Amino acid sequence: MSDRIFGIFGVLLAIGYAMAAFAIEESFLSDAVGPKAFPLIIATVLGLSSLVIAIKPDQEPHWPPFARLAEIAAAVVVMVLYAQFLPVIGFVFATALAATYLAWRLGSTVLGAIATGVGTSVGIYVIFHLVLGLSLARGPLGF
Q: Residue 18: what pLDDT?
A: 95
Give the CA distances from residue 76 to residues 53, 79, 83, 99, in Å, rounded to whole numbers and listed in that order. 24, 5, 11, 13
CA 118 to chain centre: 20
Residue 129: pLDDT over 80: yes
Give the CA distances from residue 138 to residues 77, 119, 143, in Å, rounded to whole numbers and listed in that order. 22, 18, 5
Q: What is the pTM of this model?
A: 0.61
Residue 100: pLDDT over 80: yes
Cβ–Cβ < 8 Å for 8, 46? no
Length of the chain counted residue by residue? 143
Q: What's the whole-number mean pLDDT along residues 50-61? A: 88
With CA atoms as reference, report the closest residue to 4 among 57, 45, 52.
Answer: 57
Q: What's the whole-number mean pLDDT along residues 122-141? A: 89
Q: What percent of the chain has pLDDT over 70?
A: 97
Residue 12: pLDDT over 90: yes
Question: Amino acid identity of 37?
Answer: A
